[in-house]
């Protein structure tokens, strides 16, 4: 079975046939550079042992390419008209499960329908691995990545197209303007790399921003350092809530008022940290130590 070649002419013809137009406000910007699409696919390194999650089915072009390599593909599309269009393209592929729903139940949780659909293919044979491969809609890229890493069994890798700014936030280093809660949350558990930046003209319709191929690879040894991921997630959100404030001030706030200033000062002294620093200056390992100290002192 051959996959449709997602060229500009193909997209314009299919949209005209379906009587619909892409909606840029919904993140419907389609990658039309076939060489770049090939790079994304090769970087994902999908094999017959992999179950792929795709969020943002679009026309189904990437879905079909993934289905030719993977054990199964679960693909999610929120737009009813796009879902119907992709259904026509993907009808020949028996290993594709299509979901017409919002990928997010709410900001801090993915839709349970997704995990229900993944359960069967993942359990169908020993050694199956979950991977995320997707041209993620820009407006949901951050919560999708963040929430997947909160799961007990997250994808082994995520190879995705995201807004360049989001990719830069994820790989940012301490002290950089882009460094924050998302950077630490991902880097505390994974290795992350920007594979390539993409100009607006690689897409149709053209977005107003540049994009990037981002690869996030789960590292089990890194994840083992986090005894309570939910606490760590909550701690990061709290300590970066007012990122220009000093670490001492933020620490009292992150402790949900269970740490007073003397206790915060004592904790910082024990960890040999200057309370005048800001959270954005702390490396991932230091933030992990600080979070665990807060957890132990407030539970």
Task: Please give the average per-residue pLDDT across 19-31, as a whole number.
Answer: 80
Q: Which fold has domain 229-297?
A: Helicase, Ruva Protein; domain 3 (1.10.8)
With cut-offs at 50, 70 and 90, classify the pLDDT of residue 253: confident
pLDDT confidence bin for 173, thresholds 50/70/90:
very high
- The number of residues in the chain equals 299
User: For residue 223, what pLDDT is reported?
Assistant: 97
DSSP 259: S
Mean pLDDT, range 85-109, rounded to an integer: 94
Superfamily of domain 8-223: Vaccinia Virus protein VP39 (3.40.50.150)
What does the pLDDT average to over 200-216? 95
Whether 8-223 shares its CATH topology with 229-297 is answered no
Tokens of residue 64, six digits: 């079909």
Q: Is the pLDDT of residue 15 over 70?
A: yes
Residue ranges covered by each domain of the chain: 8-223, 229-297
Residue 234 pLDDT level (bands cut at 50, 70, 90)? very high
How many CA atoms, within 13 angstroms, populate the side-chain half-sphere of residue 263?
A: 16
Q: Which residues pair with 160 in a beta bridge?
A: 134, 214
Angle between helices 284-297 and 229-239 (to 10 degrees): 110
**pLDDT-based confidence at residue 4 (cuts at 50, 70, 90):** low
- The string of pLDDT tens digits covering residues 151-162 is 999 999 999 999
**Cβ neighbours, 10 Å, residue 286:** 17
> How much is the pTM?
0.93
What would the mean pLDDT of 251-279 be, rounded to a whole number? Answer: 86
pLDDT band at 171 (very low <50, low <70, confident <90, very high): very high
Residue 3: pLDDT band (50, 70, 90) is low
CA distance 117 to 136: 19
Q: How far apart are CA 151 and CA 110, in angstroms?
A: 10
For residue 36, the Cα-to-chain-centroid distance in whole angstroms is 19
Phi/psi at 7 (nearest 5 deg)? -90, 170
Residue 108 pLDDT greater than 90, yes or no = no
**With bands split at pLDDT 50, 70 and 90, how would you rate the model's confidence at 107?**
confident
Q: Is the dihedral of CA 161, 162, 166, 170 positive or negative?
A: negative
User: Mean pLDDT across the stretch 103-129?
Assistant: 95
Strands 50-55 and 157-163: unpaired
Q: Which residues contact 117 (CB under 8 A, 6 or more apart)?
A: 74, 97, 99
* Per-residue pLDDT at 6: 80
């Amino acid at each position: 079975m051959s996959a449709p070649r997602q060229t500009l002419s193909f997209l314009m013809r299919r949209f005209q046939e379906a009587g619909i137009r892409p909606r840029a406000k919904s993140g419907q910007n389609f990658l039309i550079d076939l060489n770049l699409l090939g790079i994304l696919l090769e970087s994902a390194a999908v094999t017959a042992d992999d179950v792929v999650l795709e969020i943002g089915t679009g026309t189904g072009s990437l879905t079909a390419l993934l289905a030719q390599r993977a054990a199964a593909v679960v693909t999610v599309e929120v737009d009813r008209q796009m879902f119907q269009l992709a259904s026509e393209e993907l009808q020949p592929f028996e290993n594709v499960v299509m979901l017409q729903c919002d990928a997010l139940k709410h900001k801090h949780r993915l839709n349970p329908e997704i995990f229900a659909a993944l359960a069967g293919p993942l359990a169908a044979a020993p050694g199956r691995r979950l991977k995320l491969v997707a041209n993620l809609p820009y407006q949901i890229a951050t919560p999708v990545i963040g929430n997947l890493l909160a799961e007990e069994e997250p994808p082994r890798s995520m190879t995705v197209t995201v807004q360049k700014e989001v990719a830069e936030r994820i790989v940012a280093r301490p002290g950089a303007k882009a460094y924050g809660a998302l950077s630490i949350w991902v880097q505390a558990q994974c290795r992350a790399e920007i594979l390539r930046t993409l100009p607006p003209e690689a897409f149709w319709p053209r977005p107003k921003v540049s994009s990037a191929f981002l690869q996030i690879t789960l590292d089990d040894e890194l994840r083992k350092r986090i005894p309570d991921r939910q606490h760590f997630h909550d701690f990061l959100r709290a300590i970066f809530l007012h990122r220009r404030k000093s670490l001492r001030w933020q620490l009292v706030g992150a402790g949900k008022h269970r740490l007073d200033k003397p206790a915060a000062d004592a904790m910082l002294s024990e960890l040999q940290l200057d309370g005048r620093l800001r959270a954005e200056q702390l490396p991932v390992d230091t933030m992990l130590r600080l979070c665990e100290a807060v957890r132990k002192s407030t539970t």
